[in-house]
A and B are shown apart, each in its own frame.
Chain A
Amino acid sequence: MSSSGLLANEVALLFRRRRTWAMLLALGAVPVLIAVAVRLTSGPPTGRGPAFLDRVAGNGLFVAITGLLVCIPLFLPLTIAVVSGDTIAGEAGTGTLRYLLTAPVSRPRLLLVKFAVAALFALAAAAMVALCGLGIGALLFPTGPVTLLSGTTISAPAAVLRVGLVALYVAVSLLGLTMLGLFISTLTDVPVGAMAATAVLAVTAQILGQLPQLDWLHPWLFTQHWLGFADLLRDPIRWSEFGQNALLQGGYLLVFGALAYGRFASKDVLS
């Protein structure tokens, strides 16, 4: 009858929390800062700073891309860690978990709803960076047809679509971490602990990804494709990295989804 009642309520709750907006605004501030910095200086010499930065002054649309690139190693994972680490542990910590479960909502459904909401946040976070980047880019810099990495030029509306694609790529990239956070969240009644552990994992995975000695491990790291959206900025678009990333993230969803279920379904709720 009201099978979507809890989901709707949880989504509304997510966007009603001050914490959510604080994180989204902080993320949105990143491209704004980048754009302002570039505008105030005459632009960095080519070859220094994050990729795409040298293109910003030429075309405002690149602010969004640069913003996403800057946010993905740390800022985005941090916010994902906060939201996903809080999912179950937060309910346990406030004691509301026992009242949700006796309402009753079945444990698998609660996990699903919590994951869906955290995934929605990942999408909102990536979209926030992209939208703020597009906005401030249009405000401070010339916009117009964009020259892609492959050398071809596309119209501004088509370029906006590409920015949307990159944001989607980034959101998908964060799903594995989101499920990892959900799993960790079932292990404890202390939300801050789950958030911290999730954030530490995101950073650790990136460090491991830098070590050539661990080559064999790299394809299995959920961070492996995080920066790999350049192919979406070519003409024609090369989808192979998008596909590999989606597959990898899907694998993380399955494995850690199963672990979260296994843990949570049999857990004594004593908080």
Chain B
Amino acid sequence: MTALPEPGDLAIHTTGLGKSFGKRRAVNDLDLAVPRGSIFGFLGPNGAGKTTTIRMLLGLATPDSGSISLLSEPMPAAASRVLPRVGSLIEGPAFYPFLSGRSNLIRLDSANHESDASTRGRRVDAALDKVGLGKAARLAVHAYSLGMKQRLGIANALVNVRELLVLDEPTNGLDPQGTREVRHLIRVLATEGTTVVVSSHLLSEIEQTCSHVAVMSVGNLVAQGTLEEFRADGRRVVSLRTPDTGVALAVLARLGLEARQDPVPGGQDGVLDAALGPEAPEPERLVEELVAAGVRVRGFTVQAASLEERFVALTGEGFDLVQ
């Protein structure tokens, strides 16, 4: 949307990233730029290519094309240097069911060749406490609920101090309380200087936490920038309440607005909605024209299109936003 930050200030920078599965293009020519210190919302409907992108970022999958710079180092070449500085949750948590939550985290941390064995237990316990699993730490994971597993997955990302956290759908399966806690945790981490990438198909997660967003749709990046830019880019919508809907429709049409009549239960007034394009006249001009044409204006509002409408406009209607 606007000029991108300098590459040195980017925690993640991809150019022309692409990946196909057979004939299906999962990620196509992706130029992602995640500024350091941002809370970056990585948005897109199911199947948009978010997880595939994250797998490539973390060196799990090899891109067909393009390049990746993670914390200013090339991936996957520098994986063993970079990954210790990155915490991740990728397509849901995964643990050995017969081990306790704590043992699972100990095991994964012992795989990290840079982690300090002497502080391991303490770091794991602190991470478990951070996500509210302190009491369930010694319980076998098969006895965990989905939400508890999700928390454990987030705890795993927090066992070490990280410069970058990549959390793929972190609130999947969490109750509203858990969702709020995760959002809070993300904000706290960000104020401590960690860059956090949160992928989600749920818009509501993004708009409450993030400073930046990128939107993917069927493998393509369709928008990227700060949340303000993303909002401002949306069109405004006017809403008119009047009994003279016929005349009003004609007037709006003459001014180049395509109005839609909303059904209003039980009133004699009709309500017309129209999107204000960049070429549309100012709202006060609309009212002037309407009144001049004899339309009885009983209500007139101008609103920025909601983020959700913007999201749908970018990604298409074909999926359930609020599942």
Instruction: Enumerate chain A interface residues (CB-CB to B < 8 A).
Output: 1-3, 5-6, 8-9, 13, 16-18, 94-96, 98-106, 109-110, 266, 268-270
Collect the chain A residues with CB atoms within 8 Å of residue B98's CB: 17-18
Q: Is the CB of B113 within 8 A of A99?
A: no
How far, in Å, is A186 (CB) from chain B's closest CB?
15
Docked Cα-Cα span, A35 to B92, in Å, equals: 52
Please pick, from A16, A103, A106, A109, the residue contacting B109 in the complex, using a CB distance under 8 A. A103
Given contacts A2-B115, A266-B62, contact A103 B83 (CB under 8 A): yes
How far, in Å, is B131 (CB) from chain A's closest CB?
16
Given contacts A96-B96, A103-B83, A104-B80, contact A2 B110 (CB under 8 A): yes
Q: Is the CB of A99 within 8 A of B112?
A: no
* B59 contacts A by Cβ under 8 Å: yes
Docked Cα-Cα span, A107 to B194, in Å, equals: 27
| Contacts beyond the supplied A96-B94, A106-B113: 16 A-B pairs with Cβ under 8 Å | A2-B110, A2-B115, A2-B116, A5-B115, A13-B99, A96-B95, A96-B96, A98-B90, A98-B91, A99-B88, A102-B90, A103-B111, A104-B111, A105-B113, A106-B79, A269-B55
* B86 contacts A by Cβ under 8 Å: yes
How far, in Å, is A219 (CB) from chain B's closest CB?
39
- 20 A/B residue pairs, CB under 8 Å, sorted by A: A2-B113, A5-B115, A6-B110, A9-B110, A17-B98, A18-B98, A94-B94, A96-B96, A96-B108, A98-B60, A98-B90, A101-B59, A102-B59, A102-B60, A103-B83, A103-B112, A104-B83, A268-B55, A268-B61, A269-B55
Interface hub of B86, B92, B97, B109 (most chain A Cβ within 10 A): B109
* B69 contacts A by Cβ under 8 Å: no
Q: In the complex, which residue of chain B has the Cβ closest to the Cβ of A1? A: B116
* B146 contacts A by Cβ under 8 Å: no
Docked Cα-Cα span, A96 to B113, in Å, equals: 17
> How many of chain B's residues have a CB under 8 angstroms from any CB in A?
35
Docked Cα-Cα span, A266 to B86, in Å, equals: 21
How far, in Å, is A88 (CB) from chain B's closest CB?
14
Please pick, from B92, B115, B156, the residue contacting A95 in the complex, using a CB distance under 8 A. B92
Please pick, from B55, B107, B113, the residue contacting A3 in the complex, using a CB distance under 8 A. B113
Collect the chain A residues with CB atoms within 8 Å of residue B93's CB: 95
Docked Cα-Cα span, A5 to B119, in Å, equals: 13
* B214 contacts A by Cβ under 8 Å: no
How far, in Å, is A1 (CB) from chain B's closest CB?
6
Collect the chain B residues with CB atoms within 8 Å of residue A2's CB: 110, 112-113, 115-117
Please pick, from A9, A17, A95, A98, the residue contacting B107 in the complex, using a CB distance under 8 A. A9
Collect the chain A residues with CB atoms within 8 Å of residue B61's CB: 268-270
* B252 contacts A by Cβ under 8 Å: no
Collect the chain A residues with CB atoms within 8 Å of residue B112's CB: 2, 103-105
* B84 contacts A by Cβ under 8 Å: yes
Interface hub of B55, B94, B106, B111 (most chain A Cβ within 10 A): B111
* B114 contacts A by Cβ under 8 Å: yes
Collect the chain A residues with CB atoms within 8 Å of residue B48's CB: none
Given contacts A1-B117, A98-B90, contact A268 B60 (CB under 8 A): yes
Given contacts A96-B94, A106-B80, A269-B55, contact A8 B116 (CB under 8 A): no
Docked Cα-Cα span, A17 to B79, in Å, equals: 31
Interface hub of A102, A104, A106 (most chain B Cβ within 10 A): A102
* B11 contacts A by Cβ under 8 Å: no
